[in-house]
Structure 1
Amino acid sequence: MTTFRPDPTFYPSPSMAMEAPPERYGYVATFWRDEGEPQKDAVAAVDLDPNSPTYSQVVGWCEMPNVGDELHHHGWNACSSALCPSNPHPHVERRHLLFMGLRSSRIHFVDVKKDPKNPSIAKIIEPQEYKAKSGYSRPHTAHCGPEGIYVTNLGAADGDEGPGGIALLDHDTYEVIGTWEKDRGDQYLAYDFWWHINHDVMITSEWGTPRQIENGIIPEELLANKYGHKLHFFDMKKRRNIQTIDLGEQYQMTLELRPAHDPAKEYGFVGIVISTEDLSGSIWCWYRDGEEFAIKKVFDIPAEPCDDVDLLPNLLKGFGAVPALITDIDLTVDDKYLFVSCFGQGRSIMLDVSDPLNVTQVGEIRVGGIATRAPHPSRPDVPLLGAPQMVEISRDGKRVYWTNSLYGAWDDQFYPDGVGAWMVKANIADGTMTLDPDFFVGQGQFRGNRVHQVHLEGGDASSDSYCFS
């Protein structure tokens, strides 16, 4: 008799996931950005084991076959959601990371299980096939879920406009099944998505169309409040929009979504890049309020004045200030702390969100920044460009990692002197965070590529959905 055993990196509950072994490797999306001789994007494997002789070094490198994909976000083919009783898939395994080419619309499946130090390409979905079968282009984020692998997209299959939305891929074959939405309602712009999986509710957020994104931010459209400022709620079974919340048109770019990991809860957080009223960034909490969802702003991050306008890019010289530019947030698996990346100011802020509607700041680090260029403790005399951008947290909540590039064209606008490439880490203890002076992965190790998102071996705080409290 054959007995099927679920992948050991799948966990029924958040508390069990927090007891998982520490990660040994991080898998970083790296991309080339029009600097020097054209080279290929690649997946870098970084050693995260403090006891290893190669700690804080790139130990594996997997090149993509084409030039110009601009690898961006990536996600697992399978995760703990496979254990959900509503649609179980216990036979699948966490083996491949889907690396999306945000410019090319090409999806790469990279095997990180066969040889964790040396990732390898297992499958590629070419742009023509993906667009024809999904109805979309510019794939951005992938999540493993109850029906298959869900992928959000910024644009429609043809042209540089919308609507953007979600495509569904088969769990087993990785074939593109098609467009996920049956009724999108007033949803047109797309960016991130997540869900309250036990309640059959999906939430989607908004950035902009490919035209508004690919060549950099369009100042006139930003000031006219034409980027995204809404959240959309979908019935996951019926695949239809059941509610839209407009945060107010001045709250431009509702980006990363972080729902509570506790599957019994129906709340979560979204980061707003910038307010066109005062250049502030903000954190909002959506929550169930009777039959519908409500939302509340729970934390503001004001712009920082800058008297030396020569330090500012052209976009900001007229304002004499540096906005936070909240470009990523991440929530610990115990739902206690939220980490907020401020790409403009070179800050990452640690918030206590154990009471989600009454949030307090409990920590902060500074590295890089448009005006500050704060150095890392390992290189105290070297000013850094770029800033903490994509943030990832270990399952046990004891380690936090940041990479420093947002998106090639946007990097160039906010950091015209360049962003280089770096990855840093903080250790979390007793509710405080401290930069690890022994962990700094610099541009030379990334072979001249920039770095975007990192995911951790075996899963992390932004990877999995759980169906048991």
Structure 2
Amino acid sequence: MSLWKPDPTFYPSPRDAAAAPPEKVAYLAAFDRSASRPDAIAVLDVDPDSDSYGTVVGWTDMPFIGDELHHFGWNACSSALCPYAPHPHTERRYLIVPGLRSSRIYVLDTKDDPRSPQVVKVLDSEELAKRAGYSRPHTVHCGPEGLYVSALGGANGQEGPGGIALLDHTSFEVLGRWETDRGDQYLAYDVWWHLNHDVAVTSEWGTPSMIEDGIVGELLLGRKYGHALHFWDLRRRRHLQTVDLGDQYQMPLELRPAHDPTKTYGFVGVVINVEDLSASIWLWQWDGQAATVTKVIDIPAEPADPESLPPLLQPFGAVPPLVTDIDLSVDDRFLYVSAWGTGQLLQYDVSDPLHPTLTGSVRIDGIVNRSAHPAAPSLPLAGGPQMVEVSRDGKRVYVTNSLYGAWDDQFYPDGVGAWAAKLDVDTESGGLSFDTQFFPHGEDFRGLRVHQIRLQGGDASSDSYCYP
């Protein structure tokens, strides 16, 4: 008699996840800005005992062009172990990879050969539009009852509202729109939750026309991009509360809730304050009835010679940090903040979430700074740390350098190229240092730009847990 056993990469608690074996490979979204050749998923060897450590060891082209692969995720994760999960025996096997420009969604199977994912299903834009009423799928999160795919645009040419489509864990069919009552929510970006408390949180960016050709200066200065968080009844799929951060705080993007399922707080990064070009980190707290949101970190702009700046920034004479990704370690101790504009990766101790303390920082590239990687000190770089991912045990941090094609071109008009870096973490007292043996770059990525990273077996931004 055989017994079904859960996938060994599903972890009941954050502590179990941190104690699991380290990742051996990492998956990167790679895209062709010209849309003249297919985008791809690149596979990196991240096993330091391997002869091919730090190199691209796998490559899967998509079957179409014009996708701009951006954020992607696993079909299933540790939330499958929740008591009410209807699919406890699914596997963390498939990568769900949306095309942000094409509205296609690809399903890639990693099981037979993790270094050679195979495209096994393609959902076209018409299915997403017909079944859920959305376009421009952006972020994928695996939940207990299905796959949550946030989308920026409406269907059939409609700018919005954006929202969340729910996909089946195993067939990957689009089940429909997640929201039953969206209240005043119109703009969309990320979605996360506190599973044990039946609370979901969403953030705001902009509609397709507001982002696809780059930042629209008039809209930014007119404070028209997103500036609010939305709180939802997760089970009833109903809007509960809108918290406006203030319209000067444009684009609250990545949401990072505490991994400890008994906690009801989380962090969101805000790209820019239009009054002084600073970026900021905010803390939300849910008390069982309502949410409060408090700014806990300010990151100032850096003065610069206007002649050294791209045209968009020359009138301001300063480099904005442009915080466009954050990540919270699985033990909820360190928050990592990518300041893509100034070329910094910042590490904060957030053990006391209301009072973060800066514990580490590194510089690599930046709009003006252009710091090199220590593995290639004479190599000019562009595009600062952008997407950031943390290993389950918190000892390794991976970063890549492209934000979004049109925005890359605005802030780095001489090109961003492509590179990925790994940093080692002092998990006792904090601090970051470059791994000089790990620096895939340039033609390693076959002329494509690289964006999000996912780690084999899960990472700090892929899983949610139901047991403390």
Q: TM-score, normalised by structure 2?
A: 0.98
**1:264-290, Cα deviation, whole Å (9 max, x unpaired):** 000000000000111000000001246
Match of 1:312 in 2: 309
Match of 1:16 in 2: 16
What is the distance in 2 between the residues matched to 1:289 and 1:456?
33
What is the distance in 2 between the residues matched to 1:216 and 1:397?
34
1:57 Cα deviation after fit = 0.5
2:32 counterpart of 1:32: yes
Q: Is the 8 A contact 2:73 2:142 kept in 1?
A: yes
2:372 counterpart of 1:375: yes
Matching residue's letter, 1:277: E
**1:361-386, Cα deviation, whole Å (9 max, x unpaired):** 00001011000011000111122100
What is the distance in 2 between the residues matched to 1:149 and 1:288?
24
Match of 2:207 in 1: 209
Give the counterpart of 1:365 among 362, 373, 376: 362
What is the distance in 1 between the residues matched to 2:228 and 2:140?
20
Matching residue's letter, 2:31: F
Match of 2:4 in 1: 4
Give the counterpart of 1:185 among 169, 183, 186: 183
2:426 counterpart of 1:434: no
Match of 1:121 in 2: 119
Superposition pairs of residues 190-339 of structure 1, within 5 angstroms: 190-289=188-287, 291-307=289-305, 309-339=306-336
Matching residue's letter, 1:46: L
What SS does structure 2 have at the residue aligned with 1:354? coil
Give the counterpart of 1:62 among 60, 63, 73: 60
What is the distance in 2 between the residues matched to 1:85 and 1:290?
21
Give the counterpart of 2:106 among 108, 126, 135: 108
Q: Is the 8 A contact 1:222 1:252 kept in 2?
A: yes
**1:117-166, Cα deviation, whole Å (9 max, x unpaired):** 11111111011112111110000001110221110000001215110000
Matching residue's letter, 1:461: A
What is the distance in 1 between the residues matched to 2:86 and 2:345?
37
What is the distance in 2 between the residues matched to 1:4 and 1:147?
19
What is the distance in 2 between the residues matched to 1:290 and 1:298?
21
Paired residues in the alignment total 466
**1:432-465, Cα deviation, whole Å (9 max, x unpaired):** 1101111101021100000010000010000001
What is the distance in 1 between the residues matched to 2:307 and 2:109?
46
2:416 counterpart of 1:419: yes
What SS does structure 2 have at the residue aligned with 1:441? coil
**1:390-435, Cα deviation, whole Å (9 max, x unpaired):** 0000000000000100000000000000000000010012321101
Matching residue's letter, 1:4: W
What is the distance in 2 between the residues matched to 1:422 and 1:216?
22
Between 1:312-321 and 1:123-132, the stretch displaced more is 123-132
Matching residue's letter, 2:97: F
Q: Is the 8 A contact 2:86 2:145 kept in 1?
A: no
What SS does structure 2 have at the residue aligned with 1:46? strand
What is the distance in 1 between the residues matched to 2:288 and 2:202?
20
What is the distance in 2 between the residues matched to 1:171 and 1:16?
23
Q: Is the 8 A contact 1:306 1:321 kept in 2?
A: yes
* Percent of pairs with identical residues: 62
Q: Is the 8 A contact 1:404 1:423 kept in 2?
A: yes
2:139 counterpart of 1:141: yes
What SS does structure 2 have at the residue aligned with 1:413? helix
Change (3 A) 1:203 1:290: closer
Q: Is the 8 A contact 2:367 2:411 kept in 1?
A: yes
Q: Is the 8 A contact 2:228 2:242 kept in 1?
A: yes
Matching residue's letter, 2:83: P
2:92 counterpart of 1:90: no
1:67 Cα deviation after fit = 0.9
Give the counterpart of 2:397 among 372, 393, 400: 400
- CA RMSD of the aligned region, Å? 0.9
Q: Is the 8 A contact 1:4 1:90 kept in 2?
A: no
What is the distance in 2 between the residues matched to 1:186 and 1:325?
27
Matching residue's letter, 2:139: T
Change (3 A) 1:161 1:283: same
**Unaligned residue ranges in structure 1 (runs of 5+):** none
1:111 Cα deviation after fit = 1.2
Give the counterpart of 1:390 among 371, 375, 387: 387
Q: Is the 8 A contact 2:365 2:382 kept in 1?
A: yes
Match of 1:341 in 2: 338
Match of 2:446 in 1: 447
Between 1:107-116 and 1:416-425, the stretch displaced more is 107-116
Matching residue's letter, 1:281: A
What is the distance in 1 between the residues matched to 2:40 and 2:326?
24
Matching residue's letter, 1:194: W
Matching residue's letter, 2:349: D
What SS does structure 2 have at the residue aligned with 1:53? coil
**1:2-47, Cα deviation, whole Å (9 max, x unpaired):** 3110000000000000011110100000000128xx2110000000
**1:283-334, Cα deviation, whole Å (9 max, x unpaired):** 0000124621101100000000002x22210010011100000000000000
2:455 counterpart of 1:462: no
What is the distance in 1 between the residues matched to 2:4 and 2:374?
48
What SS does structure 2 have at the residue aligned with 1:72? coil
Matching residue's letter, 1:302: P
Q: Is the 8 A contact 2:187 2:207 kept in 1?
A: yes
2:348 counterpart of 1:351: yes
What is the distance in 2 between the residues matched to 1:88 and 1:367?
44
1:61 Cα deviation after fit = 0.3
Between 1:169-178 and 1:285-294, the stretch displaced more is 285-294
Superposition pairs of residues 149-168 of structure 1, within 5 angstroms: 149-168=147-166
What is the distance in 1 between the residues matched to 2:327 and 2:467?
21
Matching residue's letter, 1:132: K
Matching residue's letter, 2:413: P
**Unaligned residue ranges in structure 2 (runs of 5+):** none
Matching residue's letter, 2:352: D
Q: Is the 8 A contact 1:160 1:211 kept in 2?
A: no
